[in-house]
Amino acid sequence: MQQHTSAASRKWVRAILFAGVTSMVATGCTTVNPYTREDQTAKSTSGALIGAVAGAAIGVASSSKKDRGKGALIGAASGAALGGGIGYYMDVQETKLRQQLESTGISVTRNGDQIVLNMPNAITFGVDQSNLSQQAMNALQNVATVVNEYDKTQLNVYGFTDSSGSDSYNLRLSQVRASEVSNYLVRSGVAAQRVLSKGMGEAHPIASNANAQGRAQNRRVEIVLSPLES
């Protein structure tokens, strides 16, 4: 009897693992990076796999003895959809943003379920200016096209400066620049309630302010896309 129970347990463990792998494959494991033209692991895969295994286990536990295999597969599919849903939504949006922003000078970085668009000052504003360049407006039109299609995301726009000038001046300039980007997105059709802007001044540098190259990197606007809270 003990051997029979052990064999049955192994059978359902195999079923759960098979269901998890099947769901992972169905969800899609890779996307194509348009910069390198190489496959990259999709961020939704781990969430989908965890959800699939958990769902399969629940499916087995809640099914009759003869239907446990079927229950494992159904539970895995449901779990994968829940576990990978947000990640997959952001994966697809990330891929489209990379395609739209290729060769614009704007970098696209994934941070968990967030997507960060880094707009260096060299392509956005002149020195001590807050008027968007034509290059920046063209790129923001492409951003608006994607985020209007994927409208379940919040856009937080942050302005940053280098350490030149006073703290109060830098804070004010960064806020005006962040507002300019936000307003342009809204004029391009993005719902105003989805877009927030904030000036950060010289806080959160990404390079040294001790040299011109570092200061140029710190002068930037970042657009952070996050899933809307349900």
What the chain holds in terms of domains, given with CATH numbers, is 2-91 (no CATH), 103-227 (3.30.1330.60)
CA distance 8 to 85: 32
Q: What is the pLDDT along the chain (230 residues), one digit of tens a residue?
A: 545 544 554 554 455 445 444 444 444 444 444 333 444 455 555 555 555 555 555 555 555 555 555 555 555 555 554 555 778 889 999 999 999 999 999 999 999 999 999 999 999 998 888 999 999 999 999 999 999 999 999 999 999 999 998 999 999 999 999 999 999 999 999 999 999 999 999 999 999 999 999 999 999 999 999 998 75
CA distance 66 to 176: 66
CA distance 210 to 199: 22
Angle between helices 68-101 and 44-61 in degrees, nearest 10: 170
How many CB atoms sit inside 10 A of residue 39's CB?
11
CA distance 16 to 121: 51
How far from 93 is each of 90, 110, 181, CA to CA, in Å? 5, 11, 20
pTM of the full structure: 0.67
